Every structure is written in C-alpha cells, then in structure tokens.
C-alpha cells in the first residue's frame, strides 16, 4: 500500500510529528498518519508553518501535510519564516489541479505550482508515479541537511486503486459546556512597551517568541537574551511558533502576541485542543495595529480576546490592566494547562531601534539556548 510506504519513509527519517490540514485525495493517508504519529490538525495551513517552525527550533522533526492549494495561503509565511531564518520544513502536499481533476476551482492556482515554487526558489520534488515514492525520503533529508523548505507534490495517481487503510476514529462528543463570564475592561494605564518591560524583568530560562514589528524591537530594547526569538515577518505566526515550541520542548514558553495578530488567526482552537501546560500566551491588546500607525482593531470597542480564548477552550485566563496585575498574573501561572494573559493597553509605540541581529543569528543563538546546539 502506498500509504504504508509513506509512513515507513517518515519513520525512517525520524519524523515524530505530523501537522495536517487534510485533503480529500489523501484521506486514507491522513487516517493512517493519525494512528502512527503525534498528529496535530490545523484549520489553516499557514498556522502549520508556524507550528512546524517552533518544533524545529526545539530540535524536533515534523512534516506538514496539506493540499497543494494551501501553499497559496501559506506562501508569505513560508518565505518570511522558515526560508528567512533557515528552518527545515518538509511539506507533503497533495497536488490538486494536475491529474484527473474534476473540480474547476482547483485548477487555476494548482496547475501552476511548480512554476511558482521555482520563481520563489523553493525546493520541490514531484511524485508522479508510485515508483517515485522513495524520493520523499530524499526531500526530507534535503530539508534537514540544508535547513530549508522542501515541498513534495504528490500526484493523486499515487493512490489510484488503493483500498481504504483505516476509518478515522472519532471521540464521543457528548459533553456539557458551561461558561460564566463577567469581566470589566477599564481605561488602561500601560502601553505595550511597559508591559513588555514588566514581563522581561521576570524572565528566567523561558523560551520567548515576540510578535513582528515594534513588539520585537521593544523586547530587544528591554532585555536582549539568547532565549528570545524575534519575529521579523510572518504576521499571525507568533502563537503558532510558540505552540510548536511548547509541544517540542520541556521548557516554559512565553508568547508576546497582539490583538491584531490573534484576531487574524484561528490558532487558539489548536492551542486549546493540544493544551500544553508549558505555554503562556500574553495578549498585548492595545486595540490597534500598533506597528502600522495604530489603526483600530475590532478589539478596541467590541471583541474581548479573553472571552474568545475561553470560548475556544483555554481554561486558565487572566485579564490585567496594571503593572501589579500583570506581575501577579505572570508569577502565579498555574501550569495546569495553557495560560492566556489578556493585557489591556493604551496604543502607542516607543522609538525602539531596529534589530541588527540577522535571522540566522537569531535562529542559532535561540537553538543553543533551547536545545544546546
């Protein structure tokens, strides 16, 4: 069976985790992968880029499995995260719009994927026939040997005539959902830089991921340390990276994310499902897109992100407005599941200097801090 050969190859290559957004053409493969690996389902492909990047930074081997159309959703994240920092990421993509495609909407983007990958300099391998399956091993090896993305485009022809491998198992969904929530958002006294400085003073050996733009500059100014992963691109990917780190590492992981970034992602649902007890997400909510001119986000007047986190299923949440509340919330983390600290802030940026450390220098010193190499 082709599916079983793929599983064998992944195990031989030391893959521990599969991050997946399933495709109809690979449903049997996905069902088998779910029984053979730590299998993490994501509702959006670009979140998988961040999760896999975090796992790599913690020294673990994973593969991202998805439909090739997801490469369109993920292209910016690919180029500004694993490609920019030099992080190994093998992607196993079911190639739609290529072989006996019956859905017209799959053709316009997917038919041109090899040319697109070539244009962006992304390494890729086409598996057109069952006899070529062994080349998946070469692609994974290339990704990890050369610290880069390698996309494997797998033709649906590979699965022609295959019998179903396994029927997906679903848990009993009967449960009682109780949520009682009454919180007040009061006028904030801190700006984002104040909150970052407060947290920075409390850090010991945590792994820290800071959001793109000014937040990373402000963390760098407040407390530059090898355990800080400064994001220089990849909007919405701070929490996915932190989730991947938390799953792959035994160290405590702290994410400094923003309201705009979290509103643009569906990753909190995955965080709640995985519930690592070594992950703390600090939502720095100034109700604004701070790095682009402080334009208002929906959190300014409408959305309560602590309530959003609870609705997704994150049980340990705090809402803080002052230095003292933030200090207490950070110091009193329960570590019985993921912690979500919602910090209400005034908009505004400091004049923090640009980060002069290169992406690969950020990667190297972070990985030495994280895993010793």
Count how many domains the chain has.
2
Q: What is the DSSP string of 42-105?
A: -SSHHHHHHHHHHHHHTT--EEEEEETTHHHHHHHHHHHTHHHHT--EEEEEE--SSSS---GG
In the predicted structure, residue 162 carries a pLDDT above the cut 70: no
In the predicted structure, residue 373 carries a pLDDT above the cut 70: no
The reply to whether 149 and 231 lie within a common domain is no
Mean pLDDT of all residues in 43-50? 96
CATH at 350: 3.40.50.970
Q: What is the mean pLDDT of the chain?
A: 94
Counted residue by residue, the chain has a size of 373
Segment 182-210, tens digit of pLDDT? 999 999 999 999 999 999 999 999 999 99
Q: Are 13 and 145 in contact (CB under 8 A)?
A: no
Segment 344-354, tens digit of pLDDT? 999 998 888 99
The reply to whether 149 and 205 lie within a common domain is no
In the predicted structure, residue 321 carries a pLDDT above the cut 80: yes
pLDDT for the residue numbered 365: 97
The reply to whether 217 and 363 lie within a common domain is yes
The reply to whether 235 and 327 lie within a common domain is yes
Segment 108-125, tens digit of pLDDT? 999 999 999 999 999 999
Whole-angstrom distance, CA of residue 261 vs CA of residue 239? 9
The reply to whether 317 and 208 lie within a common domain is yes
pLDDT for the residue numbered 301: 92
Mean pLDDT of all residues in 20-48? 93
pLDDT for the residue numbered 291: 78
338: left (phi over 0), alpha (psi -120 to 50) or beta: beta
The reply to whether 219 and 275 lie within a common domain is yes
Mean pLDDT of all residues in 288-308? 91
The percentage of the chain sitting over the pLDDT mark of 90, rounded to a whole number, equals 85
Model confidence, pTM: 0.95
Name every residue whose Cβ is closer than 8 Å to that of residue 152 and which is 6 or more positions away in sequence: 90, 91, 92, 93, 124, 125, 127, 135, 136, 139
pLDDT for the residue numbered 98: 86
| Residue 24 included in any domain | yes
| Residue 81 included in any domain | yes
Segment 233-280, tens digit of pLDDT? 999 999 999 999 999 999 999 999 999 999 999 999 999 999 999 999
> Confidence band (pLDDT; 50, 70, 90) for 164?
low
CA end-to-end span of the chain: 38
pLDDT for the residue numbered 334: 80
Name every residue whose Cβ is closer than 8 Å to that of residue 131 and which is 6 or more positions away in sequence: none
Residue 271 CA, chain-centre distance (Å), reads 10
The reply to whether 11 and 52 lie within a common domain is yes
Q: Show the domain range for 116.
A: 2-159
């Amino acid at each position: 069976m082709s599916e079983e050969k793929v599983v064998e190859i992944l195990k031989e290559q030391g893959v521990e985790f599969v991050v997946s957004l399933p495709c109809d053409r690979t449903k049997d493969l996905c069902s088998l992968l779910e029984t053979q690996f730590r299998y993490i389902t994501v509702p959006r492909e670009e979140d998988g880029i961040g999760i896999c990047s975090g796992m790599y930074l913690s020294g673990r081997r994973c593969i991202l499995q998805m439909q090739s159309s997801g490469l369109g959703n993920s292209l910016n994240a690919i180029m500004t995260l694993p490609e920019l920092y030099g992080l190994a990421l093998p992607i196993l993509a079911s190639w739609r719009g290529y072989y006996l495609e019956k859905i017209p909407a799959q053709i316009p983007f997917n038919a041109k994927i090899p040319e697109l990958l070539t244009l962006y300099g992304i390494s890729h391998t086409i598996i057109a026939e069952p006899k070529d399956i062994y080349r998946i091993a070469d692609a994974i090896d290339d990704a990890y040997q050369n610290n880069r993305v390698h996309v494997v485009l797998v033709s649906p022809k590979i699965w022609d005539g295959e019998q179903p491998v396994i029927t997906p198992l679903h848990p009993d969904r009967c449960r009682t959902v109780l949520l009682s929530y009454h919180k007040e958002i009061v006028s904030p006294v801190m700006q984002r830089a104040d909150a970052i400085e407060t947290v920075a003073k409390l850090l010991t050996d945590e792994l820290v991921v800071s959001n793109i733009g000014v937040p990373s500059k402000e963390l760098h100014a407040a407390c530059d340390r090898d355990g800080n992963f400064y994001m220089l691109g990849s909007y919405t990917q701070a929490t996915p990276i932190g989730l991947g780190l938390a799953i792959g590492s035994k160290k405590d992981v702290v994410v400094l994310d923003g309201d705009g970034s979290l509103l643009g992602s569906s990753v909190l649902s995955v965080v709640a499902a995985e519930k690592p007890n070594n992950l703390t997400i600090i939502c720095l909510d100034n109700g604004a897109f701070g790095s682009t001119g402080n334009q208002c986000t929906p959190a300014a007047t409408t959305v309560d992100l602590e309530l959003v986190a609870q609705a997704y299923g994150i049980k340990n949440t705090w809402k803080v407005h002052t230095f003292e509340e933030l200090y207490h919330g950070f110091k009193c983390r329960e570590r019985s599941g993921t912690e979500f600290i919602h910090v209400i802030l005034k908009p505004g940026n400091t004049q923090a200097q640009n980060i002069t450390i290169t992406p690969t220098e950020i990667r190297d010193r972070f990985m030495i801090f994280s895993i010793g190499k």
